[in-house]
Chains A and B, each alone.
Chain A
Amino acid sequence: MSDEGRKPEDVTGADARWRLSRRSFLSQLGAAGVAATTVPLAAASPAAVAPATVVDGKEAIEGAIPVNLRINGKVLNLEIDPRATLLDCLREYANLTGTKKGCDHGQCGACTVHINGRRVNSCLTLAAMHEGDEITTIEGLGEPGSLHPMQAAFVEHDGYQCGYCTSGQIMSAVALLKEPCGHTDADVKELMSGNICRCGAYPNIVAAVQHVRRQA
């Protein structure tokens, strides 16, 4: 975003330095600790969305704005680059990397999350637009041991191959349960068309969605 042409997953040159330090930093924190320590986290992982400078011995983000986001029931007080999409904010500031970046242009659905219970492409909305909203990511849906029925159905029906689109598919499928949708597989395919699976797991994805709809 801020640094044109550089993708967050590039681990070369200058990127390698921040990414390695971020990784090693995060490796010392448990998942619970991550959610509770957002301010140092924000300072430690800004590079994908903002140029970092060192002020008073602390990394600061130029032009950063304060944003309070409620994600998976927890309030995070963040200082973010105003350009940060909700997707980048989730991944790079909140360390919720279950939400994936695919096309970054609203064409693939990998970044699908829920805002106030409705599915949206998190790549095409600014994080700063969502103060006061209830944001739910795949991490907030269920965890190993207590999976959401849709997550369990994807496992049971083998609704994935590489898995990159899966969190977006599941977030879409869960939202679909509350939307007007006919009973047929074709109806499900139409309402799931915003989620692309390049492995071609579509038949199993539809089976998983229909399985949960029949149980509901």
Chain B
Amino acid sequence: MEMFRFTKAADVPQAIQAAAQSKTAQQGAEVRFIAGGTTLLDLMKLNVERPGQVIDINRLPLDKVEKLPDGRLKIGALVRNSDLAHHPDVQRDYAVLSQALLSGASAQLRNMATTGGNLLQRTRCMYFRNDAMACNKREPGSGCPAIEGENRTLAILGTSKDCIATNPSDMNVAMTALEATVHIQGAKGERDVPIGEFFLLPGNTPHRENVLESGDLITYVTLPAPRTNSKQVYLKLRDRASYEFALSSAAVVVETSGGKVTFARVALGGVATKPWRSVEAERVLLNKSADEKTFRLAAEAALHGAVPQSQNGFKVELAKRCIVHALNTATKTA
């Protein structure tokens, strides 16, 4: 690990001012905020991240979960994953989020990892994590050996000729199905970004993973007012039963009336370069009979554009069955 200057931010403006000195908020940032540290320190030990300054933001007042007067839920960026998963409002109204959080990492890591940090969780692609290898995400222009190499766990949706790295987060998939909004405070003021616009596709700039600019600090995330009639399920399929990243996961939020689907949100994890909302699947589901035949058609639509690599072709069918099983489970729970 390279030497860095360690500072503690006394308040949000101070944190932003210090981070704004960095040329970028993306890969290669000279200044990094540290919250849980579970991604950043891991990557600093691998020399994938090499900030010259690390700003401790753990004492900033961003650690509350609040119900807003309009029914939305405001989640501070520093709320720990375990606290969010066990929060009574989340368990009652946003069950898919609680399930996703508890399916991720370990109890220790969930006690450390934060809401803001999980949004910025980096890929587990082994080429990205190994600084002896080429990687367009880590070193733009150096190439993507994963495409011709070890790609079993990598993405089949949203890929480009320059990057097929998977977004590893479970939380992000649930947040996508719940249509969360990311609130950002930066050098130019505050702004709200719908989660669907927060993450960027790799294209030919895989080192840019989200819309954050130098100095930007995620301050909180809001969830829309709860859909109290919805059924929600997060289903995660993986090589081990616990403490493993998803090969395929699905977050579904569904409402039915008289046997027909009246509302559907479907998001996928483990198969895409960003948390993957499938409006195609949602369109198939809407106003159709809530049965396995419809769910299979929705799954086919979701994976229609999939581009499998040499080792991950199995993910196409796995993701489809994941969607079908999640929808079956959601619509069968009374």
Contact = CB atoms under 8 A, between A and B. Distances in A.
B153 to A, nearest CB: 15
Contacts of B107: 119, 172, 175-176, 179, 191-194
A4 to B, nearest CB: 8
A193 B106 contact: yes
Q: What's the interface size class on B, roughly?
A: 20 to 34
A197 to B, nearest CB: 13
A189 interface: yes
Interface stretch (B35-43, B143-151, B258-266, B285-293): B35-43
A120 B3 contact: no
A124 B38 contact: yes
Contacts of A121: 38, 106, 108-109, 112
B106 A109 contact: yes
B211 interface: no
A63 interface: yes
Given A125-B41, A129-B37, A120 B108 contact: yes
Nearest to A80: B6
Given A65-B6, A82-B4, A125 B242 contact: no
B105 interface: yes
A194 B108 contact: yes
A85 B243 contact: no
Nearest to B42: A105
A106 B42 contact: yes
A209 to B, nearest CB: 13
Given A128-B56, A129-B37, A193-B106, A119 B111 contact: yes
Interface string B12-34: 00000000000000000000001
Interface in B215-246: 241-243
Nearest to A123: B41
Contact of A106 (B6, B86, B109): B109
Given A104-B45, A105-B45, A126 B109 contact: no
Interface string B30-68: 000010111001100101000000101010000000000
A102 to B, nearest CB: 12
A57 interface: no
Nearest to B47: A4
Contacts of A195: 106
Nearest to B5: A82
Given A105-B45, A119-B107, A126-B41, A180 B112 contact: no
B193 interface: no
A71 B176 CA distance: 40
Contacts of B41: 85, 123-126
Contact of A1 (B45, B241, B242): B45
Nearest to A65: B6
Contacts of A104: 45
B112 A125 contact: yes
Nearest to A62: B3
A97 B251 CA distance: 43
B10 interface: no
B34 A126 contact: yes
Contact of B37 (A2, A112, A124, A180): A124
Given A2-B1, A194-B243, A180 B42 contact: no
Interface string A161-187: 000000000001001100110000000
A191 to B, nearest CB: 5
A143 interface: no
A148 interface: no
Interface string B108-121: 11011000000000
Nearest to A190: B242
A63 B34 contact: no
Given A106-B42, A180-B86, A83 B3 contact: yes
A118 interface: yes
Nearest to B102: A190
A113 to B, nearest CB: 9
A192 B242 CA distance: 10
20 contacts: A85-B41, A105-B45, A106-B38, A109-B108, A121-B38, A123-B41, A124-B37, A124-B38, A124-B41, A125-B36, A125-B112, A126-B6, A126-B41, A129-B34, A176-B107, A189-B242, A193-B242, A193-B243, A194-B106, A194-B108
Interface of A: 1-2, 4, 62-63, 65, 82-83, 85, 104-106, 109, 112, 118-121, 123-126, 128-129, 172, 175-176, 179-180, 189-195
A-B pairs with the 6 shortest C-beta distances? A194-B106, A193-B242, A82-B6, A193-B243, A118-B111, A121-B108
Given A129-B37, A193-B107, 18 more contacts: A2-B1, A82-B4, A85-B41, A106-B42, A106-B108, A106-B109, A118-B111, A119-B107, A119-B108, A121-B112, A124-B109, A125-B36, A126-B41, A128-B6, A129-B56, A172-B107, A172-B108, A176-B107
